[in-house]
């Protein structure tokens, strides 16, 4: 009997094994595929398809290469994307705003001249030479009137991103030398930042280029056809009206008046040249 029992037991074992081979099908509970694993059944671990692979966001200067899906990271920060420095701004990272170095140095920064921010109606001394004798100095009283800044007006066409400036200068001469030898007015225009107004000549209106915030802008300058009053009570007054169109906020127009004996020279190559500089 003992033998029979043993055999029966083996039968039962075999039966059990083969019964479990016919188990009911798994009701799969699928987990979605991830970057690193395919679609997988949480019960039986059966898989279908492939892993998705990472969805990489390229590294920037502020974050390393990162997977948009699972936030896995790799590698190191990218270098800054630095813009070139210009007269208004140092080199700056276009992504994070990090700055390096300094703004470009304005042409006038190391020139030995004092720049005046013209006060309307205030008198300034302008020393120049006589008309019939250039070595006979005369000192005119110079003042500015009616500085206006506007987008457009009749005769001053509007241009997007630009503004007009108009201003009038008057210079009155009444000392003995002016009455005896006359006087010569030598005005000039410059760009405080670049020291360059090439393109401007005596004719009006003229175009010239201004670099503002790193971008070249085509600008207009209408320099004066100055007029002289008649001599009256020993006094003669010059009137000149300027108009210029520059990018909004540009503050680099320099109008200066130089002693007539030096006009045409590079005044920055010379020392102590009588001149008066106004920056608008």
Which residues are near Zn ion by CB under 5 A? Answer: 26, 28, 35, 41, 43-44, 46, 54, 61, 67, 69-70, 72, 80, 93, 95-96, 98
Q: Specify the residue, 56 or 231, whose C-beta has the smaller distance to Zn ion.
A: 56
User: Closest approach of Cβ 52 to Zn ion, in Å?
Assistant: 8
- CA gap 33, 39 in Å, rounded: 4
Nearer to Zn ion, 34 or 237 (CB): 34
In Å, what is the CA distance from 179 to each residue of 136, 172, 259?
A: 11, 12, 17
Minimum CB–partner distance for residue 95 and Zn ion (Å): 4
Tell me the closest approach of the beta carbon of residue 97 to Zn ion, in angstroms: 7
Distances (CA, A) of 91 to 104, 126, 175, 273: 9, 40, 52, 36
CB 231 within 8 A of CB 159: no
Contact 95, 109 (CB under 8 A): no
Nearer to Zn ion, 97 or 121 (CB): 97
Q: Which is nearer to Zn ion, 45 or 251 (CB)?
A: 45
**83 versus 166: smaller Cβ distance to Zn ion:** 83
Chain centroid offset of residue 122 CA:
33
Q: Which C-beta is closer to Zn ion: that of 74 or that of 102?
A: 74
Q: Where is 66: in which H helix or E strand?
A: strand 65-67
Provide the CA 213 distance to its chain's centre, in angstroms: 2
The DSSP bridge pattern shows strands 99-100 and 115-116 to be unpaired
Work out how close the CB of 74 gets to Zn ion at its nearest, in angstroms, rounded to a whole number.
10
Tokens coding 135? 């070595």
User: Least distance from C-beta 104 to Zn ion, angstroms?
Assistant: 21
In the complex, least distance from residue 59 CB atom to Zn ion, rounded to whole angstroms:
11
């Amino acid at each position: 009997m003992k033998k029979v029992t043993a055999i029966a037991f083996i039968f039962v074992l075999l039966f059990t094994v083969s019964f479990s081979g016919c188990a009911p099908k798994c009701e799969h509970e699928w987990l979605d595929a991830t970057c690193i694993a395919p679609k997988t059944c949480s019960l039986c671990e059966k898989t279908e398809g492939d892993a998705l692979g990472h969805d990489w966001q390229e590294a920037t200067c502020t974050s390393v290469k990162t997977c948009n899906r699972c936030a896995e990271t790799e590698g190191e920060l990218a270098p800054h994307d630095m813009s070139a420095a210009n007269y208004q701004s140092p080199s700056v990272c276009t992504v994070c705003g990090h700055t390096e170095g300094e703004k470009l140095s304005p042409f006038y920064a190391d020139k030995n001249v004092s720049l005046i921010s013209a006060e309307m109606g205030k008198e300034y001394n302008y020393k120049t030479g006589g008309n019939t004798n250039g070595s006979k100095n005369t000192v005119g009283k110079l003042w500015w009137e009616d500085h206006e800044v506007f987008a457009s007006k009749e005769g001053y066409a509007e241009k997007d991103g630009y503004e007009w400036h108009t201003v009038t200068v008057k210079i009155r001469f009444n000392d003995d030398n002016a009455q005896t030898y006359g006087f010569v007015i030598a005005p000039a225009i410059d760009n405080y930042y670049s020291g360059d107004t090439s393109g401007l000549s005596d004719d009006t209106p003229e175009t010239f280029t201004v670099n503002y915030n790193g971008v070249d802008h085509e600008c207009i300058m209408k320099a004066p056809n100055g007029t002289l009053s008649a001599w009256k009570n020993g006094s003669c007054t010059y009137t000149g009206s300027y108009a210029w169109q520059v990018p909004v906020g540009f503050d680099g127009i320099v109008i200066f008046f130089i002693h007539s004996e030096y006009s045409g020279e590079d005044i920055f190559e010379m020392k102590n040249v009588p001149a008066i500089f106004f920056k608008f």
